[in-house]
Amino acid sequence: MKSVLHVALLAAVAFVLCSSTSQAQFRERGNWLGPVLTLATDPIGFGVQYEYGVSKNVGIGGIVRYWGKSSSTAGYDWSWSIVMPQFQGAYHFMPGDQLDPYAGGRLGWAIYSYESDFVSASDSGGLFLTAYGGLRYFFSPKIAGNGQLEFRVAGDDYFGSSIQLSIGVDFTL
């Protein structure tokens, strides 16, 4: 119980220290980089994303994600992994605000591998296209939290669901 209170107190202190609105916004020629967790998949994926503001409302960049899982069933060991590099573009509806809603699309390529006691395979799954929408909140000029909902429009479905939910932190470079 004490550790939960410590984490909550630390989060509250960080929020207060980072809560400043000056220059906290999406802007032209801005750069953002940060980690991402994809929560609506099994296993949870992790990755990193980058965005560059090419105009007042438009950002382009990329995201690379990784998922991996291993198990042992009745003495049979297996593991698999998927790496998905994606190009992305987004339109930001309220540039210059602390609250930054956006929508866009991603074009990516899936690279997966599978290993077991008997088989080892690696392959490219091909192109896929997703549409996404999200919300970024700037806690300070250098730190923003974000959440995204992504929908697979075309390509293989690797997780039994065409919808993914992700959260992350963006750092202004």
Question: Domain extents for the chain?
Answer: 22-172
pLDDT at 159 (0 to 100): 65
pLDDT of residue 85: 95
Report the pLDDT value the prediction gives residue 123, as an integer from 0 to 100. Answer: 77
Q: What integer pLDDT is reported at residue 131 of this predicted model?
A: 96
Q: What is the pLDDT of residue 129?
A: 93
Q: Give the distance, in angstroms, between the CA of residue 109 and the centroid of all CA atoms in the same chain.
A: 15
CA 163: distance to chain centroid?
13
Could you list the pLDDT tens digit for every one of the 173 residues in the chain?
Answer: 444 444 344 444 344 444 444 456 899 999 999 999 999 777 899 999 999 999 999 999 999 999 998 888 878 888 989 999 999 999 999 988 899 999 999 999 988 888 888 888 777 778 889 999 999 999 999 999 999 999 988 887 666 677 889 999 999 99
CATH among 2.40.160.20, 3.60.21.10, 3.90.550.10, 3.40.50.1370 for 22-172? 2.40.160.20
pLDDT of residue 18: 46
